[in-house]
């Protein structure tokens, strides 16, 4: 029974990453299938495929350099060996990144509630992801409350209310253009009085006005610390996988004014640009906690680097 369940999860994951698998890893596999022996063109072709897959130039160069060194040093001759080495090199990018799952962090937090600040530009699926995450954590047995601190857009408050109702999780809100820090303050007060385990605070995504957003997030943090000195315990950046290389720039910009602790990558099922996962984890050393894999409230999956790579690389 357990094996059947495990196989079902694997098949579902494979389906959700189908576009990335076909665009990136199938090209790599097909390259090896067409070759009868190792030649200099194999490495050049791998490099070209990686560069076209939104992994990023810096990470691609690192993978290719390491691959060439190992081939020369250990005198590999088999195409299967080279294929396996490539998988190893990509897996190695994930090994040294500390990735304690969010549920564990919440459980180990001695003083409830555990406060999570959600950041990200408009349009990446931030509101939807907050709904999914609140549902996910509730299913894990946590008592969750949401604060609608993106008061810049009326639609953000309305949409968040719809998702909070779907998840059956309470929402603290005020009117449009209300002070976001005031919403955060009210949310934490309510969370403490009602003994909630987790607080999710939505924030505005106006990255084009970085100074204003920086000041707003700083104020929210200062106000929350008046109630819970350690807050926020976590700052999660929401990224849209379909934006490819643009996601790298969003990480850089947010890191310039907030200490992002983890990432949720959305819309992974609808893009061939899932290779961005590899580049982001390598370049920024920030763990990816979850993948958004669809439009339904249950479409949020915990990220596992090894399983992510395993679902792409099969024996040739």
- What is the pTM for the complete model shown? 0.89
Q: What is the pLDDT of residue 187?
A: 98
The domain locations on the chain are 2-95, 102-310
Tokens linked to 163: 């998702």
Closest by Cα among 287, 243, 238, 242 to 265: 238
For range 13-33, the mean pLDDT: 68
Domains 2-95 and 102-310 share a fold: no
For range 273-283, the mean pLDDT: 86
Q: What is the pLDDT of residue 53?
A: 79
Q: What percent of the chain is modeled with pLDDT above 70?
A: 86
Q: What is the pLDDT of residue 16?
A: 66
For range 306-313, the mean pLDDT: 79
113-to-49, 116, 140, 200 alpha-carbon distances in Å: 45, 9, 15, 10
Digit-coded pLDDT (tens) for 67-81: 888 888 877 667 788
Write the CATH number of the domain with boundaries 2-95.
1.20.120.140
φ/ψ of residue 220, rounded to 5: -60, -45
Digit-coded pLDDT (tens) for 169-222: 999 999 999 999 999 999 999 999 999 999 999 999 877 667 888 889 999 999
Digit-coded pLDDT (tens) for 78-91: 778 888 888 899 88
Domain 102-310 has CATH 3.90.1150.10: no
Whether 153 contacts 238, CB under 8 Å: no
Q: Which residue has the higher pLDDT, 35 or 128?
A: 128
What's the distance, Cα to Cα, between the start and end of the chain in Å?
Answer: 29
Q: What is the distance between the alpha carbons of residues 124 and 180, in angstroms, rounded to a whole number? A: 20
Q: Which pLDDT band holds residue 26 (cuts at 50, 70, 90)?
A: confident
Q: Which pLDDT band holds residue 24 (cuts at 50, 70, 90)?
A: low
Digit-coded pLDDT (tens) for 40-65: 678 888 888 888 878 889 999 999 99
Q: What is the distance between the alpha carbons of residues 227 and 189, in angstroms, rounded to a whole number? A: 7
Q: What is the distance between the alpha carbons of residues 122 and 188, in angstroms, rounded to a whole number? A: 24
Angle at alpha carbon of residue 17, lines to 14 and 22, rounded to 5°: 95
The answer for residues whose C-beta is within 8 angstroms of residue 66's C-beta and 6 or more apart is: 89, 92
Q: What is the distance between the alpha carbons of residues 57 and 282, in angstroms, rounded to a whole number? A: 11
Q: What is the pLDDT of residue 2?
A: 30
Digit-coded pLDDT (tens) for 125-173: 999 999 999 999 999 999 999 999 999 887 899 999 999 999 999 999 9
Sheet of 198-202: strand order equals 171-172, 144-148, 198-202, 114-119, 234-240, 262-266, 288-292, 300-302
């Amino acid at each position: 029974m357990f094996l059947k369940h495990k196989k079902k999860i694997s098949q579902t994951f494979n389906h959700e990453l189908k576009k990335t698998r076909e665009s990136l890893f199938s090209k790599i596999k097909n390259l090896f299938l067409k070759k009868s022996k190792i030649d200099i063109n194999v490495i050049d072709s791998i490099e070209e495929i990686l560069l076209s897959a939104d992994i990023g130039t810096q990470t691609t160069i690192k993978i290719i350099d390491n691959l060439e060194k190992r081939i020369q040093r250990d005198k590999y001759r088999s195409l299967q060996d080279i294929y396996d080495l490539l998988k190893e090199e990509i897996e190695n990018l994930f090994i040294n990144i500390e990735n304690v799952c969010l549920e564990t962090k919440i459980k180990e937090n001695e003083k409830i509630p555990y406060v999570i600040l959600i950041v990200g530009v408009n349009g990446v699926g931030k509101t939807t992801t907050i709904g999914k995450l609140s549902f996910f954590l509730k299913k894990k047995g946590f008592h969750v409350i949401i604060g609608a601190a993106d008061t810049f857009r009326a639609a953000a408050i309305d949409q968040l209310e719809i998702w909070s109702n779907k998840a059956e999780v309470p929402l603290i809100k005020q009117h449009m253009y209300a002070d976001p820090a005031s919403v955060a303050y009210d949310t934490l007060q309510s969370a403490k009085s009602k003994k909630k385990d987790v607080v999710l605070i939505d924030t505005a995504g106006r990255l084009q006005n970085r100074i204003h957003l920086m000041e707003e997030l700083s104020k929210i943090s200062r106000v929350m610390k008046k109630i819970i000195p350690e807050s926020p315990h976590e700052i999660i950046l929401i990224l849209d996988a379909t934006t490819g290389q643009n996601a790298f720039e969003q990480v850089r910009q947010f890191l310039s004014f907030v200490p992002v602790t983890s990432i949720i990558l959305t819309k992974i099922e609808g893009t061939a640009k899932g290779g961005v996962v590899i580049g982001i984890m390598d370049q920024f050393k920030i763990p990816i906690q979850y993948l958004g894999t669809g439009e339904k409230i249950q479409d949020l999956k915990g990220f596992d680097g090894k399983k992510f790579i395993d679902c792409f690389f099969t024996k040739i």
